[in-house]
Amino acid sequence: MKVYLLNGPNLGRLGSRQVDVYGVTTYDSLVEGCIEFGKTLGLDVEARQTDAEHEMIGWIHDAADAGAAVVLNPGAWSHYSYALRDACALLRWPLIEVHISNIHAREEFRHHSVISAVATGVICGLGVEGYHLALRYLSTQRDQTD
């Protein structure tokens, strides 16, 4: 099963950005860990990160065209990008939205995600382990996406 692991703005700065909120795991380490963990689950994980919204939307379109599952950390776009939300609505399920921090325990503007309404599920507040949980769930959904 093909899985696109897509990360939005500022996630490339993991390990140096607000370590009290996001932890010390670097982006490269996160990607390496997810690809390896995905292999153990029989998943072909392709990871990408961008700070450019149009690029992310293009990747979501690619996933929709390929019928791929998506693990998406939309970062700040979660809270206002209707363009990204509409692109996500094109996906053939599943789409798992992941946030490293608990967005509901942070600033009020972070409490709502426009992406969540079109996601199969949402994982937040469990650190980088949330990515592994998303991949584990997707590995159980193979028959529904093939």
Which amino acids are annotated catalytic?
22, 99
101 appears as a binding residue in the annotation: yes
Half-sphere exposure of 146 (CA within 13 A, CB side): 7
Beta strands in 50-130 (DSSP E): 69-73, 95-99, 121-124
13 appears as a binding residue in the annotation: no
86 appears as a binding residue in the annotation: yes
Burial letters for 51-77: b for 16+ Cβ neighbours within 10 Å, e otherwise? eebeebbebbeebbeeebbbbbbbbeb
CA dist., res. 5 & res. 47, Å (int): 4
28 appears as a binding residue in the annotation: no
100 appears as a binding residue in the annotation: yes
73 appears as a binding residue in the annotation: yes
- In this structure, are residues 139 and 42 in contact, taking their beta carbons and an 8 Å threshold? yes
Residue 135 backbone dihedrals phi, psi, to 5 degrees? -65, -40
Residue positions forming the annotated binding site for substrate? 73, 79, 86, 100-101, 110
Binding site: residue ranges? 73, 79, 86, 100-101, 110
